[in-house]
Structure 1
Amino acid sequence: MAISISLQCLGLIILAAILLQTIAVAVSFMYFNKVLYTMQESFSRSSVSCLINANLRSEFEDSAAEDKKSDPCWQVTQQLHFHIEKTMADRFQKEISTTMRNKLTGGLPNLNPGFRGAPLPKVAAHVTGIVSSTETPAAEGSQSSRGYLGERIRGWEGQKGLSFLQNMELRGGELLVPRAGLYYIYAQTYFRLPSAGETEGDAKGEMGETKEEEGAQLVQYIYKKMNSYMVPILLMKSSRSVCWPQGQEPGLFSLHQAGTAFLQPADRLFITVSNASSMEMDGRASYFGAFLVG
């Protein structure tokens, strides 16, 4: 009987000890959690205070002092300063690299596929004038020995400035068609006729009429060549009758034409003009091109 009572007392003592230990652990956890929260809140407030009240420039200038390096507020402002400096340096480097790249690649951007968010047609080309290059002119009103009228223009640019080639090739002044389909074809040529002062002293014609009185016929032709047919086929032509300028200023004229034609793979497009010696090969005024529409 006495042994049973002793065991019960021992069990109660052990249970009480476990309960007290549990309470102590819970109280300790709550205390340390409160202390940690207080420290975090204090640090956060001090960091915000640093950002609001600190003078970044003065802090940076005084950064050499040893006592500043141990100040948490100084450390926060220094980290912010270095982050801002790094961000601005990276952005400046990116802008400088873009500017230098554009300067080295030319004054005008290339109109590559997808430029400025507007994708080009799957097959397209726009070539511009550079240096005039012509063949021997045909007799006016007659077919030349090569099967076309006018003087052929070979001096086209396909890669720089405003020009581009999208799945088309430029060979010897000809645009090579890569696939069959309906194409929209266009061309413009720009002419500069000399003034009366520049032509003074020219010989008169047999009927006594001067060159200025005779006037000039400006004609532009768009031809295509086929591998299965030896003679080039005339697709379009545009013409204009002009008078030679009588004043001191030269006469400026342009011819433009456009239309559609069904082309086969390996067909080639080229331009011929009358009075090729008077043609100005300015890339913004003399150009031609084509693109697939269906």
Structure 2
Amino acid sequence: MVAYTSAPSDMEMGLEQRTVVLVEKKSSTERILKLTVALLVVALCVGGILVFAWYWSGRPEQMTQPGHTDALIDKDTAEKTDPHTTLRRISKAKAAIHLEGIYEEGESLKDQLEWRSGQGQAFAQGGFRLVNNQIEIPQTGLYFVYSQASFRVSCSDGDEEGAGKGLTPLSHRIWRYSDSINSKASLMSAVRSACQNTAQVESYREGQGWYNAIYLGAVFQLNKGDRLWTETNQLSELETDEGRTFFGVFAP
């Protein structure tokens, strides 16, 4: 809105000589109105962007084609339980070692589970070494240590009644030797029992046996030069095919 006012003329001049001057003034109300509208438009734009971002971040499955959601869920679940996925992850670490176990009665090193590198899925990188069937730590730091021993125990003792064996304990342990303490210490261990109630369970008939696996895994602070090794009982019942028995360390 524009207002006009008249400026008073010189009183000494006559009415005929009076001059009228029009002065334009902008209303403050108009300026406030324009500013308010501009702020409202900016607020609506920002709000729209935030709502759009929240909607799509909360429902990512709509960005895939039909049927892809279930496939992604199944893939994620499979990766969490697939040991080969874990192996691929640790293989990307700067320092890592993964060993495959083998046991041949009468031929293995000192009648114990023998660890081998450089064959199958086994590898060593970042300074890790396998020395005298033990893993040698290259640098001081945090490491994830893991191992699995798989067993297939024959639960039949040849009895005609099929009573089978009694409880058979299966054990697997990881040892550590450190110069800082000048002695060995047990890092992890676990025990399982096989052949429970085999006389009452039809599925454990002669020749089938009892299958079980012991898995160990945790993070430890280790020192340079520390040595790690395993101790396993029931070696004749071990299963070492297809990566079922392994031992490894990697830097998280």
TM-score when normalising by structure 1? 0.47
2:150 corresponds in structure 1 to 190
Letter in 2 for 1:194: S
Are 2:235 and 1:276 equivalent residues in the alignment?
Answer: yes
Deviation at 1:228, TM superposition (A): 4.2
Letter in 1 for 2:173: Y
2:140 corresponds in structure 1 to 180
4+ residue runs of structure 1 moved beyond 2 angstroms? 115-119, 130-136, 227-231
Deviation at 1:278, TM superposition (A): 1.3
Q: 1:161 aligns with which of 105, 110, 120?
A: 120
Q: Aligned ranges for residues 97-112 of structure 1 at < 5 Å?
A: none
1:130 corresponds in structure 2 to 102
Deviation at 1:252, TM superposition (A): 1.3
Deviation at 1:160, TM superposition (A): 1.3
Q: Is the 8 A contact 2:103 2:238 kept in 1?
A: no
Q: Is the 8 A contact 1:124 1:289 kept in 2?
A: yes
Counterparts of 1:120 and 1:195 in 2: how far apart (Å)?
41
Q: 1:240 aligns with which of 182, 186, 192?
A: 192
Flag structure 2 segments of 5+ consecutive residues without an equivalent: 1-83, 199-203
Q: 2:171 aligns with which of 206, 219, 231?
A: 219
Distance 1:250 1:266, change over 3 A: same
Letter in 2 for 1:222: I
CA offsets 1:234-284 (integer angstroms, 9 cap, x no match): 001122122265512122111111101111011011111121221122251
Letter in 1 for 2:98: H
Q: Is the 8 A contact 1:162 1:283 kept in 2?
A: no
Q: Is the 8 A contact 2:90 2:96 kept in 1?
A: no
SS in 2 for 1:277: helix
1:55 corresponds in structure 2 to none
Q: Aligned ranges for residues 1-294 of structure 1 at < 5 Å?
A: 120-132=92-104, 133=108, 135=110, 152-153=112-113, 155-166=114-125, 167-196=127-156, 199-200=157-158, 212=165, 214-243=166-195, 245=198, 246-248=204-206, 249-293=208-252
Question: How many positions carry a matched residue from both structures?
Answer: 153
- Which one has the largest radius of gyration? 1
Counterparts of 2:144 and 2:191 in 1: how far apart (Å)?
20
Letter in 2 for 1:242: A
SS in 1 for 2:93: coil
Counterparts of 1:176 and 1:187 in 2: how far apart (Å)?
15
Counterparts of 1:117 and 1:290 in 2: how far apart (Å)?
12
RMSD: 2.8
Distance 1:119 1:172, change over 3 A: closer
Counterparts of 1:118 and 1:184 in 2: how far apart (Å)?
10
Q: Is the 8 A contact 2:149 2:214 kept in 1?
A: yes
Q: Which protein has the bigger helix share?
A: 1
Flag structure 1 segments of 5+ consecutive residues without an equivalent: 1-110, 137-151, 202-209
Counterparts of 2:101 and 2:230 in 1: how far apart (Å)?
11
SS in 1 for 2:236: helix
Deviation at 1:171, TM superposition (A): 1.5
SS in 2 for 1:190: strand
Q: Which protein has the bigger strand share?
A: 2
Counterparts of 1:250 and 1:178 in 2: how far apart (Å)?
41
Identity of aligned residues (%): 25
CA offsets 1:24-48 (integer angstroms, 9 cap, x no match): xxxxxxxxxxxxxxxxxxxxxxxxx
